Amino acid sequence: MKNTIVAKFGGTSVANADAMQNSANIVLSNPNVRVVVLSASAGVTNLLVELADGCDQEKRHYVIDEIRRIQYNILDTLHQPNVLRDEIDRMLENITMLSEAAALATSPALTDELVSHGELMSTLLFVELLRQRDVNAEWFDVRKIMRTNDRFGRAEPDTHALYELAQQQLVPRTQEAIIITQGFIGSEAKGRTTTLGRGGSDYTAALLGEALNAARVDIWTDVPGIYTTDPRIVPAARRISEIGFSEAAEMATFGAKVLHPATLLPAVRSDIPVFVGSSKDPSAGGTLVCNKTEQPPLFRALALRRKQTLMTLHSLNMLHARGFLAEVFGILARHNISVDLITTSEVSIALTLDTTGSCTSGASLLTTSLLTELSSLCRVEVEENLALVALIGNKLSSACGVGKEVFGVMEPFNIRMICYGASSHNLCFLVPGENAENVVRALHSNLFE
């Protein structure tokens, strides 16, 4: 499997028949692409999540019709759609049945079962589209090999089991055909469907790349690579042609939408380069994420993450006391919450929680039971609608003059929190959500233009 490429296509790359044809052209342009991982067609996952949250009959009919319309628009361009139409109709019936159950009572397991249908349908359509171009393509249910725990909505894969099953079931098939499979979904020990969290298709591709000892993982999306910041915020943003794993992982973690934060972990572990390009315009080039780059710059990029929550915990018991932080983190761990940034003073701790993309349903992390448990220990203050701006670079904590370069520009803005020094690759600060884009523009203008 030394030359094998795993190619992943996001929702916009399989949104309609034309987008699927473009993606098929990319797959067929490189004979080393043997495994293709697909997201659901654009918009379908959000509609399925809406059904999983439970809604009345009228709304259910409307949402299911909308899903049917998106899939039928692709189906109707195929020459012999009848067999496939039966299969898609069977899935739509499943969706109807599960959405009726969700209207009575929702659960994370039911949500995952429902949401998985997006990927199952897009892969069926893509296989048929390739076969009509006389390509030997095979549909493969990733749940046969993607074993996970039962943390529905944000399941964690068992990489050892995945490796063994992929070697047994996937490797022989790639010799015969191009394998088309699903991103984002897996199955737990009892065979119930799980999901890897929003954006998990990238993660699936990297995990399969690792399990197959692939030469490269290609992530095809709607932008030609990784930029110095989001070009929708700063039109002058420049594409980065090559970037190191550590920098790209920081960018992904701190909100760069191009890659899912966990994507790079399997790639870093196994030293597999990841290419990011645009399926709409493959000739535009892209960004290669690899182990090391020549002469990495001091300032590489700016990332923005919205919808951040700042939780400040005050307690005089912290003063010269031991074990207070351990107790706080014990409570957060029991509620499955991971802390992002943290600063401390003598009698208080401030920590940020990333409430975006935490699980499939996007439900709030700050439950009443969590706040009650914390309140028994200390006074809790919560601020929401903040934004995290991260400056990504190299050797930032040992370079001189970084503070002046950055904070001189920040003079007109209120900064709620700063984290600097824990990593040589980032400098992070929290600002009010309404200032976020102006902060990014000001910093980009000063540091990159």
Domain ranges of the chain: 5-221, 300-448
Strand order of the sheet with strand 417-420? 342-344, 348-354, 299-314, 379-393, 426-432, 417-420
Point out which residues pair with 195 in neighbouring strands.
185
Q: What is the pLDDT of residue 239?
A: 93
What was the pLDDT predicted at 420? 87
- Amino acid at the residue 425: H
352 in a known ligand binding site: no
* 2 known member of a binding site: no
**Residue 443 to residues 189, 388, 395, 422: CA-CA distances in angstroms?**
48, 13, 18, 21
CATH number, domain 300-448: 3.30.2130.10
* pLDDT beneath 70, residues of the chain: 1, 198, 261, 354-364
Bridge partners (DSSP) of residue 417 are 430
C-alpha–C-alpha distance, residues 381 and 374, integer Å: 11
Q: What is the pLDDT of residue 363?
A: 56
The answer to whether the annotation marks 221 as part of a ligand binding site is yes
- Per the annotation, does 413 bind a ligand? no
Q: 43 a known binding residue? A: no
8 among the known binding-site residues? yes
Residue 106 counted as an annotated binding residue: no
Q: Is the pTM of this model over 0.85?
A: no
- Other residues' Cβ atoms within 10 Å of the Cβ of residue 404: 9
Consult the annotation and say whether 11 binds a ligand.
Answer: yes
The 3-state DSSP class for residue 299 equals strand
pLDDT at position 234, please? 94
CB-based burial of residue 329 (10 Å sphere; 0-12 exposed, 13-18 middle, 19+ buried)?
middle
10 is in an annotated binding site: yes
pLDDT reported for residue 357: 47
* pLDDT at residue number 288: 94
SS3 assignment, position 184: coil
Instruction: Compute the Cα dihedral for 295, 389, 448, 403 and give only its sign.
Output: negative
Q: How many CB atoms lie within 10 A of CB 185?
A: 28
Do the domains 5-221 and 300-448 sit in the same CATH topology, yes or no? Answer: no
45 annotated ligand-binding residue: yes
Name residues whose C-beta falls within 8 Å of residue 38's C-beta, 6 or more positions apart in sequence. 8, 9, 14, 119, 122, 123, 126, 180, 181, 182, 183, 201
What φ, ψ does residue 279 adopt, rounded to 5°?
Answer: -70, -20
* Residue 59 assigned ligand-binding role: no
**Which of 122-151 are b and which e, b meaning 16 or more Cβ less than 10 Å from the residue's Cβ?**
bbbbbbbbbbeeeeebebbebbebbbbeeb
CATH 3.40.1160.10 fits 5-221, yes or no: yes
| pLDDT tens per residue across span 273-292 | 999 999 999 998 999 998 88
Please give the pLDDT value at position 80. 73
Q: Is 222 within any annotated ligand binding site? A: yes
Q: Tell me, what DSSP letter sits at residue 157? A: B
CA distance 386 to 307: 6
Residues ≥6 apart with Cβ < 8 Å to 194: 112, 148, 149, 150, 151, 152, 155, 185, 186, 187, 188
pLDDT score of 437: 95
Residue with the two structure tokens 């709607």:
222
Report the DSSP pairing between strands 417-420 and 299-314: unpaired
Q: Which of 434, 430, 246 is nearest to 343 (CA)?
A: 430
